[in-house]
Structure 1
Amino acid sequence: MKKLYILGIMSVVCVFFGSCNDEWKEELHSQMISFKAPVGSNGVCDIYMRYQPDGTASYELPVIVSGTRDNGRNINVKIGVDNDTLYHLNTEKFAVGRKDLWYRQLPENFYTFPSEVCQIPAGENVQNYTLNFNLKGLDLNEKWVLPLNVEEDPSYVRNIRKGWCKALLGINLYNDYSGTYSTTLMNIYVDGTTNDPAIVDNRVTRVVDNNSIFFYAGSVWEEDENRSKYKVIVTFNEGELNKDGNMAGSLTIKQGDPTSGANIVPVGDCTYELIVQKHETKPYLERHITILRLEYKYTDFTSDPKNPIIYDVKGSMTMERQINTLIPDQDQAIQW
């Protein structure tokens, strides 16, 4: 009797483990389609494309088949523009009455899709979907987003968890000089005074052309309703190596909107220096440091139109980029 009991237990155990082994042969989680477009703290997925004089650029958006097993069939994923999500993001993110801060949907004339579907072949779990852009004439004073969606189709299942079947692509053009500068050494004085300066921690600069960037004057903040009237355009003129072996040259400063009452004018000689250094602890990284030394004056004519105030801004701005020399694709090599 005891032997029969032991044999019975062994048979149950064998059946249990056999069923477990068979279970691993099946897909434990449904294979679903999604984008690889992680959302940052700003609510969108920032993508970076180098400025080209003709405006052309492209971006490879990964489309993913999730699951515990490799994709075993050919899948044609339909990609379309999502015209709804951006509105909801704007109304949740920005205060009522501040539509001037909203993300703007990129107009159709600035992009094309080579195909309406992303073809994922059997055996592949990730396939890049090419987006072509022509961004010539795009006003970078606005925040542009291309919202995409994996469209419904009976041949596949969309991954709707946390909106992974959507991609809100924030458009960022860059050149060698654009980015976020530390401006703690830029002093903003009321003209004619030399004490108690105002200081702004940083300034985001955006592309004008291959050798030019713009930022907002003085203490004009990124969310000011009149910010476009205070654009300072800085052009990097051809430089040469200085005594330290770094590239250095002069800067040209002008007002972005010639009709604005901001009256932005340079004072004295404005210069730049470009420094390339090896990272102290990570030998595969290069530090590209850009230093601007400048002085300019501008008039705040919108805070109190009846009493405009002239400011004198002087000091230095510094930006650092870290570039991974092991990655040949520059868009990917820059540590954004």
Structure 2
Amino acid sequence: MKKIYILFLAITTSILLLSSCNNEWEDEQYEQLVSFKAPPNTEGVNWTYVRYKADGKVTFNLPLIVSGSTPNTQDRTVRIGLDLDTLAIMNREQFGHRQELFYQLLEQNHYSMPESITIPAGQSQVNIPIEFSLADIDEVEKWVLPLQILDNPGGNYQINPHKHYKRAMLRIMPFNAYSGTYNAAQFRIILEGNASTPLTAAQQRAYVVDDETIFFYAGTRDVDYLDRKYYKVFLRFTDEQIDIQKKKLEIWSDNAANNKFEVGSEQAYYILDEDMDPTRPFLKRKYITLSLSYKFEDYTSVPGLRLQYETTGTMAMQRNLNTLIPDEDQQIQW
């Protein structure tokens, strides 16, 4: 009798356990929250590369997602707006009172975007089309488009409370075939009277002027110098052949009357080359090598004193392109 009772109890327990089980993985495991997909870097911004076009607008698609372990259950019309408060706070935290270094709000004539966008039921991501027009933008300033997801009075979506998900601080970076970060370890910067101990800058960032022109800052200057706008060095890439590999570079400054800019005696040139990665056959590698020399005077660092510099050497950049991606603008692996 005791054995029969134990068997009955075991069967009853099994039935109860089976009846209490369900396919829990089919249920939503998390909250369905709306977020941007624009992770910030250590400075709090997301570098957003936009192809430069002199004669038209360029559309950048910013992903907007609904989180969760199951598909989105309803149509959600999400409102989007500027986030000027976060931009102001970020500037104060990063740069204090040095306003020349502040990130600047992208002027309204350089972009357009919808005020809201609908994520249809059954979809967990849509792209917000932002049209940029950057033909005449001055890259001396650090332009940012600060966006946020706005509250919905109707209540058909919830905003992700994480600050890096409900905001997108887009650092707008136009690019052309020659812009980007160059290795400048082989480029010497010589202060007058100190030829034996030349200076070097590990990198030089080149900014877009137009399709065939870039600029960078003279000497060791970069975007964090307050006086950077007085020391722009422009390079135009021409089709004029010097030899089978080299093509002519044109160099000038827009402030030569003050910084006494002079082009060096040797002809400046550039070399373009490319190959395919041996271990990743889908990856194309493009190489740009610049050879140039110039002189300039630093007239702003020390009041009443002009420091003369002479520069010479080479700079090089490698750009990797994923050829599996059909859109050339998206191929570049920044």
Residues 39 and 164 in structure 2, CA contact (< 8 A), matched pair in contact too: no
Q: Which residue of 1 aligns with 2:260?
A: 263
Q: Which runs of 5+ in 1 are unaligned?
A: none
Residues 255 and 263 in structure 1, CA contact (< 8 A), matched pair in contact too: no
Q: Which residue of 1 aligns with 2:227?
A: 226
1:64 is matched by which residue type in structure 2?
I
Q: Which residue of 1 aligns with 2:271?
A: 273
**After alignment, is 59-68 or 78-87 more displaced?**
78-87
TM-aligned CA deviation for residue 175 of structure 1: 0.5
Q: Evaluate the alpha carbon distance shift between residue 10 and residue 61 of structure 1 in structure 2; reply closer, same or farther with a 3 A threshold.
A: farther
TM-score using structure 2 length? 0.92
Q: For residues 145 and 234 of structure 2, what CA distance do their matches in structure 1 show? A: 26
Q: Evaluate the alpha carbon distance shift between residue 28 and residue 11 of structure 1 in structure 2; reply closer, same or farther with a 3 A threshold.
A: farther
TM-aligned CA deviation for residue 274 of structure 1: 0.6
Q: For residues 330 and 217 of structure 2, what CA distance do their matches in structure 1 show? A: 28
Q: For residues 15 and 106 of structure 2, what CA distance do their matches in structure 1 show? A: 61
Q: Evaluate the alpha carbon distance shift between residue 24 and residue 280 of structure 1 in structure 2; reply closer, same or farther with a 3 A threshold.
A: closer
TM-aligned CA deviation for residue 291 of structure 1: 0.5
2:260 is matched by which residue type in structure 1?
N
Q: Which residue of 2 aligns with 1:110?
A: 110
Map 1:36-185; keep pairs closer than 5 Å: 36-54=37-55, 56-94=57-95, 96-113=96-113, 115-153=114-152, 154-185=155-186
Q: For residues 206 and 17 of structure 1, what CA distance do their matches in structure 2 show? A: 66
Q: For residues 19 and 133 of structure 1, what CA distance do their matches in structure 2 show? A: 56
Show CA shifts across 1:141-177 (max 9, x none). 1111111111111111111124311111110100010
Say which of 249, 252, 255 aligns to 1:251: 249
Show CA shifts across 1:40-81 (max 9, x none). 233111111111113522100111011111112222111111
Q: For residues 331 and 59 of structure 1, what CA distance do their matches in structure 2 show? A: 10
TM-aligned CA deviation for residue 18 of structure 1: 3.9
TM-aligned CA deviation for residue 263 of structure 1: 1.7
Q: For residues 254 and 23 of structure 1, what CA distance do their matches in structure 2 show? A: 68
Cα RMSD (Å) of the superposition? 1.9
Residues 264 and 295 in structure 2, CA contact (< 8 A), matched pair in contact too: yes
Show CA shifts across 1:202-256 (max 9, x none). 101100111111111012233111111001011111144954xx5x311111113
1:206 aligns with 2:207: yes
SS of 2:22's equivalent in the other structure is helix
SS of 1:21's equivalent in the other structure is coil
Residues 181 and 205 in structure 1, CA contact (< 8 A), matched pair in contact too: yes
Q: For residues 262 and 19 of structure 1, what CA distance do their matches in structure 2 show? A: 81
Q: Evaluate the alpha carbon distance shift between residue 241 and residue 198 of structure 1 in structure 2; reply closer, same or farther with a 3 A threshold.
A: closer
Q: Evaluate the alpha carbon distance shift between residue 16 and residue 27 of structure 1 in structure 2; reply closer, same or farther with a 3 A threshold.
A: farther
**After alignment, is 192-201 or 25-34 more displaced?**
192-201
Q: For residues 10 and 262 of structure 1, what CA distance do their matches in structure 2 show? A: 93
2:98 is matched by which residue type in structure 1?
R
Q: Evaluate the alpha carbon distance shift between residue 168 and residue 14 of structure 1 in structure 2; reply closer, same or farther with a 3 A threshold.
A: farther
Q: For residues 62 and 259 of structure 2, what CA distance do their matches in structure 1 show? A: 41
2:86 is matched by which residue type in structure 1?
T
Q: Evaluate the alpha carbon distance shift between residue 16 and residue 89 of structure 1 in structure 2; reply closer, same or farther with a 3 A threshold.
A: farther
Residues 285 and 323 in structure 1, CA contact (< 8 A), matched pair in contact too: yes
Number of matched pairs: 330
Residues 63 and 126 in structure 1, CA contact (< 8 A), matched pair in contact too: yes
1:188 aligns with 2:189: yes
